[in-house]
Amino acid sequence: MSGGGTETPVGCETAQGGGSKKRDSLGTAGSAHLIIKDLGEIHSRLLDHRPVIQGETRYFVKEFEEKRGLREMRVLENLKNMVHETNEHTLPKCRETMQNNLSQVLQRCKPFSC
């Protein structure tokens, strides 16, 4: 009986060991797959900066266009005011001054003409 008693536990251990080896090999492959997946996620979060850079670039362009758009509107408004001021006030004054001075110059030049 001692021989039979030793065979049964050895047989159970062998059956359990064989089953656990199969589970270990499947578990290791599954674990390796999960580890690789986790490493990919860690890599993408820590080392892949493209999404962050793209977001920052979009933000910069949006802010730049908004600020530049407002600046361009101010520049155009200033140009419009300057052109209006020139047409309404400066040009008539210049024309009047030029005509007065030109007529004075022509009168001074008449005695010298033949």
pTM as predicted? 0.39
Q: Alpha-carbon torsion 16, 21, 26, 30, what sign?
A: positive
DSSP state for residue 89 in the 8-state scheme: I
pLDDT for the residue numbered 9: 46
pLDDT in tens, 11-54: 444 444 444 444 444 456 778 888 988 888 888 878 878 888 89
Q: How far does the chain reach from its first CA to its final CA, in angstroms?
A: 157
Residue type, 84: H
User: Under 8 Å CB-to-CB from 114, ≥6 apart: which residues?
Assistant: none
